[in-house]
Amino acid sequence: MSLDAHVVVRRADFVLDLALAVEPGETVALVGSNGAGKTTFLHAVAGLVRLDDGHVRLGGRVLSDVRAGTHVPPERRRCGLVFQQHLVFPHLSALENVAFGLRAAGVRRREARRRAAGWLDRLGVADCGRRCGAQLSGGQAQRVALARSLACAPDVVLLDEPFAALDLASRPAVRDLLRSEVLDGTRPTVLVTHDPQDARELADRVVSLSFGSPCRGTSAAGADAAP
């Protein structure tokens, strides 16, 4: 299913106004300076920030529509949001971190743990299953955060600087995992990044933001990609 979002969020000294359509299997990278509105856009799509105007549609579902008064809560949106700082629960094991979202969706404990173990294995951190979140390295925590988002079979994946908290040695492996396990050609993905290499290697299209508005961007293939 495709993502169709027109996000308008107003702040005292800032207005984000971005219309973006992402097709199934397409990855769009949002780039721009700090404060350009990239993370705000992701949070608005995920339902963590309310729109001041516009809409968010995912396939045939309306997730937000200001004029119609619609706002689906985050837990019912089927959006896989991976935060920049991972946000794994420090007191829960890696296995329970991944199972948490499944349990919140009503999956029984045994089945949630079975699925969680499978995703930890796919992302190469099966041996970390019993470690608490506080004991994980940056690269391990990012993989656990990815597993937690993917285990719930999201309809759209939202990645907020997924490599920012990783050391340089960990980035290539996690980038390869994203390419093989997340960018699987079935769902729309929006990637926020400051790294041109991430955009070149992972995105089909690049949209550049400047103070909340799109400017002329360049796709990974070199064609104009501005909305």
State pLDDT tens for residues 31-63. 988 888 999 999 999 999 999 999 999 998 999
Residues 145 and 160: their CA atoms lie apart, in Å, by 12
Q: In this structure, are residues 188 and 24 in contact, taking their beta carbons and an 8 Å threshold? A: yes
Q: In this structure, are residues 111 and 145 in contact, taking their beta carbons and an 8 Å threshold? A: no
- Predicted confidence at residue 145, as pLDDT, reads 86
Comparison of pLDDT for 181 and 15, the residue scoring more: 15
Q: How many domains does the chain have?
A: 2
Model confidence at 80: pLDDT above 80: yes
Residue 137 sits in the same domain as residue 186: no
Residue 35 sits in the same domain as residue 6: yes
pLDDT average, residue stretch 109-125: 92
Inside any domain, residue 212: yes
Q: What is the residue type of 113?
A: R
* Confidence class for position 221, pLDDT limits 50, 70, 90: very low
Comparison of pLDDT for 109 and 195, the residue scoring more: 109
Residue 181 sits in the same domain as residue 222: yes
Inside any domain, residue 84: no
Cite the beta strand spans of the chain per DSSP E. Answer: 3-11, 14-22, 27-32, 53-58, 61-65, 70-71, 79-82, 156-160, 189-192, 205-210, 213-215
State pLDDT tens for residues 148-174. 888 888 999 999 988 877 777 777 877
Mean confidence (pLDDT) of the chain: 87
Model confidence at 28: pLDDT above 60: yes
Domain limits for position 111: 90-153
Inside any domain, residue 204: yes
Residue 148 sits in the same domain as residue 178: no
Choosing from 153, 187, 206, the residue where a domain stops is 153
Helix (H, G, I), strand (E, B) or coil at 117: helix
Residue 164 sits in the same domain as residue 227: yes
pLDDT average, residue stretch 115-120: 94
Q: In this structure, are residues 157 and 203 in contact, taking their beta carbons and an 8 Å threshold? A: no
